[in-house]
Chains A and B, each alone.
Chain A
Amino acid sequence: MQTVTRDLLLQKACELLDAGTVNRVYGWQKGQFDYDVTPAVFSSREELEKDFVYNDFCGANFSKYLIKETAGEGKILVFLKPCDTYSFNQLLTEHRFDREKVYAVGIPCDGMADIRLIEEEVGEGVTGVETDGDKLIVHTLYDGDVKLNRADYLAERCRVCKSKKHVAYDELLGEDGDVVDSARFDEVAKLEAMTPDERFAFWQNELSRCIRCNACRDVCPACTCEKCVFGNPKSGVENKAVSDSFEEKMFHIIRAFHVAGRCTDCGECSRVCPQHIPLHLLNRKFIKDIDAFYGEYQAGAEVGSRAPLVDYTEGDMEPGEAVASVDERGGKDA
């Protein structure tokens, strides 16, 4: 169960609006089914009381929206879960929004549920999902109410949450947590242990589903180029076509390279992918390698840190050593 409640957040938002600390609130707007929550700007107590919601489906990371929102007048209140604060810092490191125009309220988080996992279990007739302690009560069209263990239906990124600690905020609701020793690299290790052929087959299968909708890119807080090369007709590499699966691999590998060292592992890319492609595995591979080659580095842990890939030190590993280390960690030629 979340320790913070809708009422608590609502009260905080109204208090800050009334005091004139902020003139807008970035929050979650309720939908039809509990799980279909939409990020939205609220400008008044009335709007908040009518539509503001906080439940187990408030996974959207608001950090990237601050680029747009801080272009406006006045301060905006933003609620940030621990993982969101890393993106927040990373965007600040890259000078992407105006910190002065944001009032950040950190909120503790107990993980967010994944509606796909729930539907896989109970079928597609879900009409609503409520949280009751460590249970989820799923209202369905054909099987009445189904009780599920909440912990088993959390999103992948939440099951391997890397940090309960907020690395940025103006004000914190509740207690802060710690950086967690998580299992987030376990799946990467499995991929590393594969032969190159097996690994190729794995990614070919996953990426063959890509419809090149670009949701992964568009949601990514590390992808903030005003015009992505892949969407710019003048770049020469603009491409909407899925001509063969090779192109998809190129797109995803180039994107993973581009965000390497800046990706905070917020998990938004995998959350939004309509084809459920485990994009986080690509990013985590880079994170794991960066940790192994240059020492532990967490993007967004602090504002202004230099990512190892763009920070030369004399002690840097030689490329040859890095390649040689691949053998030690498995992944030899078949």
Chain B
Amino acid sequence: MRKCALANKNALLAAMAKTAKLYVPVDGADEKSRDVNSRLAGAYYAEWKDGTQLSKKLNTTRSPKDFFFPQTENMMTFKMTGKKLEIFDTRREHEDFILFGVRACDVRSFTVLDNVFLSDPVDSYYANRRAHGIIVSMACNKPAGTCFCRTFGIDAADPEGDVICWEDDAYIYLTAKTEKGEGLLNAVADVTEDCADDAADAVKATVNERLDKLPLADLKSDAFGGGKTDTFFNDPAWNELSEACLGCGTCTFVCPTCQCYDIKDFNTGREVIRFRCWDSCMYSDFTMMAHGTNRPNHMQRFRQRFMHKLVYYPENNGGLFSCVGCGRCLSRCPISMNIVKVMKKLGGNENAE
């Protein structure tokens, strides 16, 4: 394990930034052009420049999935000249980049996305970005009231990632978990020093104590998982749960694991751009087919989002849930309906209040 005094954190980040583009969570208030609304909008990822102040917020409002699966991306273009049709491949080899300060929940979300985009047939757009990204994760010293990563077996005291970091009052501790991570730690060796492998244990212990005391610490996922479609699909509670849902896409767009997209063509007049953009199962035209949509009412659309996270995805992915308990949907839904309320309502006695 390596460590670096917090006073030298800027030098550490500078050393990382020398190896690849470095993105860090920042607050809107940092930059003068961003006003009070930007601040209240929460933290977001921005490219690190010398002296950039990192956000003290626990997590970013938008999840870092954007780096691998951006909200909009062009896939190819077509051009017609007379009777000749040309197709242009718009893919380019992505440059290396580092995501610094990713939380354990969000690191797990990349695994959730990998299972979808990197399984056969591999999504080359996603794979390209993923191959070039280095994840530097950070343990959560102060989990929020809305966090429930542990419900899904995620350890905020000991995240996954290429490089794992912990911070106490004096130092940032770093350890590499992958080859990529070792490469990065070697590159920043000048600004870090060796330390005992248990140097971060005190931080881990504190985080664990705090996780024990979270308001959602008792939430269990046991009732859910693969094979439970029949148990939950026809539960009358879906009607009540979905009653006030606006069918906006806020929950899906802030969610680190929501992975649905739409593919469309845009005719610029000179060429046709084929692009994809995030879609939401909460939208009435989601997966619209020639015969109409396969989910004609809103209860069905609402049910899909939660059944996907809690039943269908685990069924197809060896039991892995596709909610990582980040709490974003808890704090951003306009009507405060969310996966925790759904789990409590449907999850049997274990989750009852």
* B330 contact set on A, CB distance < 8 A: 36
Interface residues of A in 196-233 (CB under 8 A from B): 201, 205-206, 209, 211-215, 217-219, 227, 231-233
Does B201 count as interface, using CB distance less than 8 angstroms? no
Q: How far is the CA of A167 from the CA of B251 in the complex (A)?
A: 34
Do residues A274 and B244 form an inter-chain contact, with CB atoms below 8 A?
A: no
Report which of A31, A32, A117, A227 forms a contact with B40, defined as CB distance below 8 A.
Answer: A117
* B284 contact set on A, CB distance < 8 A: 227, 231
Does A21 count as interface, using CB distance less than 8 angstroms? no
Chain B 294-333 interface 0/1 with A at a Cβ cutoff of 8 Å (1 = within): 0000000000000000000000000000000000001110
* A141 contact set on B, CB distance < 8 A: 142-145, 210, 213-214
Q: How far is the CA of A124 from the CA of B264 in the complex (A)?
A: 39
Report which of A142, A242, A275, A276 forms a contact with B72, defined as CB distance below 8 A.
Answer: A242
With contacts A32-B340, A125-B144, A213-B250 taken as known, whether A219 is within 8 angstroms of B275 at the C-beta atoms is no
* A313 contact set on B, CB distance < 8 A: none
Do residues A241 and B40 form an inter-chain contact, with CB atoms below 8 A?
A: no
Shortest C-beta distance, A277 to chain B (Å), equals 7
Do residues B37 and A206 form an inter-chain contact, with CB atoms below 8 A?
A: yes
* A127 contact set on B, CB distance < 8 A: 145, 215
Do residues A276 and B275 form an inter-chain contact, with CB atoms below 8 A?
A: no
Q: Which residue on chain A has the smallest CB distance to residue B239?
A: A41
Chain B 327-347 interface 0/1 with A at a Cβ cutoff of 8 Å (1 = within): 000111011111011000000
Do residues B250 and A205 form an inter-chain contact, with CB atoms below 8 A?
A: no
Do residues A215 and B337 form an inter-chain contact, with CB atoms below 8 A?
A: no
Do residues A38 and B145 form an inter-chain contact, with CB atoms below 8 A?
A: no
Chain B 61-100 interface 0/1 with A at a Cβ cutoff of 8 Å (1 = within): 1100000000110000000000000000000000000000
Q: Which residue on chain A has the smallest CB distance to residue B210?
A: A141
Do residues B240 and A40 form an inter-chain contact, with CB atoms below 8 A?
A: yes
* A142 contact set on B, CB distance < 8 A: 142
Do residues B58 and A124 form an inter-chain contact, with CB atoms below 8 A?
A: yes
Do residues B71 and A242 form an inter-chain contact, with CB atoms below 8 A?
A: yes
List the count of A-B residue pairs having beta carbons below 8 Å apart.
Answer: 144
Report which of A125, A201, A227, A275 forms a contact with B145, defined as CB distance below 8 A.
Answer: A125
* B283 contact set on A, CB distance < 8 A: 231, 240
Does B253 count as interface, using CB distance less than 8 angstroms? yes
Q: How far is the CA of A31 from the CA of B216 in the complex (A)?
A: 12
Do residues A218 and B246 form an inter-chain contact, with CB atoms below 8 A?
A: yes
* A115 contact set on B, CB distance < 8 A: 331
* B143 contact set on A, CB distance < 8 A: 125, 141
With contacts A125-B144, A141-B213, A274-B250 taken as known, whether A39 is within 8 angstroms of B244 at the C-beta atoms is yes
Do residues B336 and A278 form an inter-chain contact, with CB atoms below 8 A?
A: no
Does A80 count as interface, using CB distance less than 8 angstroms? no
Does B222 count as interface, using CB distance less than 8 angstroms? no
Does A33 count as interface, using CB distance less than 8 angstroms? yes
Does B35 count as interface, using CB distance less than 8 angstroms? yes
Shortest C-beta distance, B338 to chain A (Å), equals 8
Report which of B39, B243, B247, B280 forms a contact with A41, defined as CB distance below 8 A.
Answer: B243
Do residues A205 and B142 form an inter-chain contact, with CB atoms below 8 A?
A: no
Do residues A205 and B248 form an inter-chain contact, with CB atoms below 8 A?
A: no
Shortest C-beta distance, A119 to chain B (Å), equals 8
Do residues B216 and A32 form an inter-chain contact, with CB atoms below 8 A?
A: yes
Does A272 count as interface, using CB distance less than 8 angstroms? yes
Do residues B144 and A211 form an inter-chain contact, with CB atoms below 8 A?
A: no
Q: How far is the CA of A59 from the CA of B27 in the complex (A)?
A: 27
Does A12 count as interface, using CB distance less than 8 angstroms? no
Report which of A60, A125, A218 forms a contact with B142, defined as CB distance below 8 A.
Answer: A125
* B142 contact set on A, CB distance < 8 A: 123-125, 141-142
With contacts A218-B246, A240-B262 taken as known, whether A38 is within 8 angstroms of B41 at the C-beta atoms is no
* A124 contact set on B, CB distance < 8 A: 57-58, 142, 144-146
Interface residues on A, range: 35 or more
* A227 contact set on B, CB distance < 8 A: 284
Q: Which residue on chain A has the smallest CB distance to residue B251?
A: A213
Report which of B61, B144, B337 forms a contact with A38, defined as CB distance below 8 A.
Answer: B337
Q: How far is the CA of A232 from the CA of B280 in the complex (A)?
A: 14
Report which of A32, A39, A205 forms a contact with B215, defined as CB distance below 8 A.
Answer: A32
Do residues B39 and A38 form an inter-chain contact, with CB atoms below 8 A?
A: no
Do residues A215 and B144 form an inter-chain contact, with CB atoms below 8 A?
A: no
Chain B 19-45 interface 0/1 with A at a Cβ cutoff of 8 Å (1 = within): 000000000000001110111111010
Q: How far is the CA of A38 from the CA of B142 in the complex (A)?
A: 27
Q: How far is the CA of A206 from the CA of B213 in the complex (A)?
A: 37
* A123 contact set on B, CB distance < 8 A: 142
Shortest C-beta distance, B298 to chain A (Å), equals 10
Does B288 count as interface, using CB distance less than 8 angstroms? yes
Do residues A240 and B279 form an inter-chain contact, with CB atoms below 8 A?
A: yes
Does B54 count as interface, using CB distance less than 8 angstroms? no
Do residues B277 and A242 form an inter-chain contact, with CB atoms below 8 A?
A: yes
Do residues A241 and B275 form an inter-chain contact, with CB atoms below 8 A?
A: yes
Report which of B34, B61, B145, B278 forms a contact with A205, defined as CB distance below 8 A.
Answer: B34
Do residues B253 and A211 form an inter-chain contact, with CB atoms below 8 A?
A: yes
Chain B 236-256 interface 0/1 with A at a Cβ cutoff of 8 Å (1 = within): 000010011011111011100
With contacts A32-B215, A141-B214, A215-B248 taken as known, whether A274 is within 8 angstroms of B254 at the C-beta atoms is yes
Shortest C-beta distance, B29 to chain A (Å), equals 10
Report which of A31, A211, A271 forms a contact with B334, defined as CB distance below 8 A.
Answer: A271
Do residues A219 and B246 form an inter-chain contact, with CB atoms below 8 A?
A: yes
Q: How far is the CA of A207 from the CA of B102 in the complex (A)?
A: 25
Q: How far is the CA of A213 from the CA of B35 in the complex (A)?
A: 22
Chain A 266-295 interface 0/1 with B at a Cβ cutoff of 8 Å (1 = within): 000001101111100000000000000000
Q: How far is the CA of A36 from the CA of B337 in the complex (A)?
A: 8
Does B285 count as interface, using CB distance less than 8 angstroms? yes
Do residues B72 and A38 form an inter-chain contact, with CB atoms below 8 A?
A: no
Shortest C-beta distance, B351 to chain A (Å), equals 12
Shortest C-beta distance, B33 to chain A (Å), equals 6
What are 28 contact pairs spanning A and B, CB under 8 A?
A32-B215, A33-B145, A33-B146, A36-B330, A40-B240, A120-B39, A120-B40, A124-B58, A124-B145, A124-B146, A125-B145, A126-B145, A141-B145, A142-B142, A212-B249, A213-B249, A213-B280, A214-B249, A215-B246, A215-B248, A215-B249, A233-B288, A238-B285, A243-B275, A272-B246, A274-B61, A276-B38, A276-B42
Cβ-closest 6 pairs across A and B: A272-B334, A241-B277, A215-B248, A36-B336, A124-B144, A276-B41
